[in-house]
A and B are shown apart, each in its own frame.
Chain A
Amino acid sequence: MILDDIRQYLRPGLAQTTFCAGCGHGLILGALLRAIDAEKLDMSKTVFVSGIGCAAWIPSPHIDADTLHTLHGRAVAYATGVKLANPELTVIVVSGDGDLSSIGGNHLIHAARRGVDLTVLCANNQIYGMTGGQTACTTPLGAFTSTAPKGNVHRPFDLVELVRAAGSAYAARWPVSRPIEMTRAIRHALQRPGFSMVECISPCPTHYGRMNKQGSIREIHAAMDQNCITPDQAAELTRAERLQRIVVGEWIDE
């Protein structure tokens, strides 16, 4: 169901999204559009850039504005060109964890280092969805994927730590089960000059949920929500323990 408050931002003629049942990406689209509505962005001066993968289809073709659906991993580099060539445009990158932080990881950290005024939404479903559930650089230790049939043996990235170390002005992390906080974080990211990233934790019931026996989408959302901890709680944990939790909140660098 599309609510009337965000319908005006959707491209006319599209009946539905291409996302699987239970996918969190539609909720990220909703949070983004509500943040845009609250910030009263001029959509004729806003460009949405995405890479390749399920999350890259969040803006393209759904959002009724200029959209640049680029190559795998390159969204942030294209967005850098758009923003530098015309600083009057608001440039928002929406893409997935594999796209932004694995194949595109170098572009992500360098954009954060440069401090170009971009707002990046990373839809993190902890797996490669479009290609069939392969291990991502964000897959938790021990989780099952189609390329880790006995469980993932490599540590995942902490994307907030990653972009903060590289110099981001603003970083935040919320799961789609907390849409109000996520929307507020996107608003703050849009308000903040310089490089901002909001990591949006999003379930992939089709692949991750099925291979890790996560149950129904209701159960997945409940478990996701219970797994959230604050930065203060995270400070009491070891790094390995932290990586199994979702540390939520905002990290602002002055």
Chain B
Amino acid sequence: MSPSSATDTAKVDAPAQPTSRFVMGNVACAEGALAVGCRFFAGYPITPSSEVMTTMANRLPEEGGVFVQMEDEIASISALLGASWTGAKAMTATSGPGFSLMMEGFGYGAFTETPLVVVNIQRAGPCTGQATHIGSGDVLQVRYGSHGDILPIALSPWSVQEMYDLTIRAFNLAERYRVPVFLMSDEGVGHLRESVVYHSDFTVTNRLRGGPQDEPFDTVEPDGVPPMPRFGDGAKLLVTGSTHDGRGFRRIDHPDVHDRLVRRLVDKLEHQTDDIVRVERYHLEDAEVAVIAYGFTARAAWAAVERLRERGVRAGLLRLQTLWPFPAREIAALGSTVKRLLMPELNLGQLVLPARAATHTEVVSLTQVNGLAISPTTIMERLEAIR
């Protein structure tokens, strides 16, 4: 089953005059969720993500949705998983320590194919770290932090507008592929205030419910997305985090059932990278050196590249809007056209690892873990040094 036929999409009527507002990224995230139909939010306060929750606490009841403050982050994602099986589009928002707790629920969501959206406003870790400062140390955790083989979808916004747009996209991908989707933002973008348009120029993807003949947990294809019935419709669902067959029965000692399930859940995403992976390219046509960047750091990289261009240096930028599945093909193609690549990150070099695996061209790692954003000057100087 192709992903387009696995879902039904509906065009939202555009309003007459979408107005521009000046708001915080975390607020735009909440508005994006509401616009795409999120009607359930469960969360636990944590800096620097709390404005997502407080906005939802005020706005969700106005839209006929349900807001609940839970006792911790494990309970928050657990409540989302329960709510999603009633058919609701559900979201939570957290940061560092809370994100670690949510790894448990992510595993359940991936294995039971339960759509939901987790917003991570990354702060400077590890541990409690610097709660009010920027970091991006969770970009490998989202890939490898839950036990067993799971491939996540993770998106990375770099502007307040993208906090709105990519939250919408996160829900659409969650519904299309029946998976938890992560909005891997950071304190910089989350607390940034800039202009945003709450437009309605997007399609809304809704999960297919299927019929009695459909199995809710398997497809004929080894990489398909089964339709998802909901509680209360008489489907007599068997939802379990144990290894299960297509009808949901526990099959905890069948090698073939486990093998097929684990591979399908990874392949249903890995075989759809054309649909999921998105990057943006700046000045790459004739670039001799290029930066690969994501999140708030990509803004500094963009400024660095623009300044170098003014000086006649042929620099470019590949901005990763999708972090997972990893844009390996896009980096491989870029590597074949430039002399060297630079990857600035607010961690000790995390996504530089898959980037180096994707290309034979040298990828220089620029790391900063002091709780401050990387400046354009820092990136500019390093680019000049390696070109």
A interface vs B, CB < 8 Å? 11, 44-45, 47, 49, 60-61, 64-71, 74, 77-86, 88-89, 106-107, 110, 114
Contact = CB atoms under 8 A, between A and B. Distances in A.
A77 B70 contact: yes
A66 B240 CA distance: 11
A68 B249 contact: no
A78 B79 CA distance: 5
Given A68-B239, A69-B238, A74-B74, A44 B232 contact: yes
A81 B231 contact: no
A206 B242 CA distance: 24
Nearest to A89: B232
B258 interface: no
A85 B72 CA distance: 19
Contacts of B75: 74, 77, 80, 106-107, 110
B241 A71 contact: yes
Interface in B232-247: 232-242
Interface stretch (B81-89, B278-286, B322-330): B81-89
Interface residues of B, number: 40
B326 to A, nearest CB: 28
Contacts of A80: 68, 70, 75, 78-79, 82
B108 interface: yes
B78 A70 contact: yes
A106 B72 contact: yes
B238 A67 contact: yes
Contacts of A78: 78-79, 81-82
B305 to A, nearest CB: 45
Q: What are the 5 A-B residue pairs with the smallest beta carbon separation, nearest first? A: A81-B82, A81-B79, A77-B78, A85-B83, A78-B82
B214 to A, nearest CB: 16
A110 B231 contact: no
B137 interface: no
B240 A82 contact: no
Contacts of A49: 82
B90 A65 contact: no
A110 to B, nearest CB: 4
A252 to B, nearest CB: 25
Nearest to B65: A85
A77 B82 contact: yes
B105 interface: yes
A66 B236 contact: yes
Contacts of A88: 232
Given A69-B242, A85-B86, A86-B86, A107 B71 contact: yes
Contacts of A106: 71-72, 75
B104 interface: yes
Interface string B72-111: 1011001111111111101000000000000011001000
Nearest to B72: A106
A78 B239 CA distance: 12
Given A61-B238, A86-B86, A47 B80 contact: no
A61 B232 CA distance: 17
Contacts of B238: 60-61, 67, 69
B241 A60 contact: no
A66 B231 contact: yes
A84 B231 CA distance: 13
Nearest to A64: B236
B236 A77 contact: no
Nearest to B107: A71
B153 to A, nearest CB: 21
A107 B77 CA distance: 12
Contacts of B82: 49, 68, 70, 77-83, 85
Contacts of A60: 238, 240, 250
28 contacts: A44-B234, A45-B232, A60-B238, A60-B240, A61-B249, A61-B250, A67-B238, A68-B231, A68-B237, A69-B242, A70-B108, A70-B241, A71-B105, A71-B241, A77-B78, A78-B78, A78-B79, A80-B75, A81-B90, A82-B85, A82-B231, A84-B66, A84-B79, A85-B87, A86-B88, A89-B231, A89-B232, A110-B70
Given A44-B233, A69-B240, A82-B231, 14 more contacts: A44-B232, A68-B82, A68-B237, A77-B82, A80-B79, A81-B42, A81-B79, A81-B84, A81-B90, A84-B40, A85-B40, A86-B232, A106-B71, A107-B71
Contacts of B74: 74, 77
Nearest to A78: B82
Nearest to A86: B86
A106 B71 CA distance: 7
A82 B83 contact: yes
B81 A47 contact: no
A112 to B, nearest CB: 11
Contacts of B40: 81, 84-85
A140 to B, nearest CB: 28
Interface in B27-57: 39-40, 42
B211 to A, nearest CB: 16
Nearest to A106: B71
Contact of B78 (A45, A81, A85): A81
A31 to B, nearest CB: 21
A69 B79 contact: no
Contacts of A45: 232
Contacts of A84: 40, 66, 68, 79, 83
B78 A67 contact: no
Contacts of B87: 85-86
Contacts of B83: 81-82, 84-85
